[in-house]
Amino acid sequence: MTPTLRTERLLLEPYAPEDEEGFTALFQDGRVSQWMGDGPSTEAEDRALFGRIFTKVYAQKLFDVWAVRRDGLLIGHAEIKPTDVVRGHEIIYALAPSAWGSGLGTEVAEALVTYGFGTLGLTEVHATVAEPNTASLRLLTRIGFEHVRDVTEKDGSTTRMLTRTCMPCVAERAGQPRGPRPRP
């Protein structure tokens, strides 16, 4: 079961059925959906996606998906999941435009990375970001992600692949003593 995560200002918790309207509104906002997956979808497709979170993702315990809340309000979406694109686990997050520019994206991304390294025991966490999404690229670089490679998509656009490595985790798994954690 997807656990609840807390940051200084946010609560990441499993979705509840009553979150469908907020989820759909988030994904129907073109400013958000332009950066998600293959871009904007129809309302019916977003509602079906929300349904699959319960019938497939949670039911089959495929990966962790969270509603991101601030002061009780749904303001975003977050995931960490296995992906063949980068042969590991990828973080995915989206916030409503009203939450942009306030550091909340950094809180979400750091919570996902911490969960990946700590709870899931990963030594690397990946992210894929559309090249024009400079805000996400800056955020991820600021918290320790490094550009690994670019992928040219079928439509000619570029997706940047980024990775953050947990050096203390790598050392620990290799049987080396743990040093201080690098600061993001």
pLDDT tens for each residue of 53-95: 999 999 999 999 999 999 999 999 999 999 887 789 999 999 9
Cβ neighbours around 105 below 10 Å, total: 22
Judged against a pLDDT cut of 80, whether residue 22 lies above it is answered with: yes
120 pLDDT higher than 90: yes
135's enclosing H/E stretch is helix 134-142
Report which of 94, 85, 62 is spatially closest to residue 163, judged by C-alpha positions.
85
pTM: 0.88
Dist CA 41 CA 28 (whole Å): 7
Condensed to tens digits (0 to 9), the pLDDT of residues 86-95 reads: 789 999 999 9
Over 70: is that where the pLDDT of 32 sits? yes
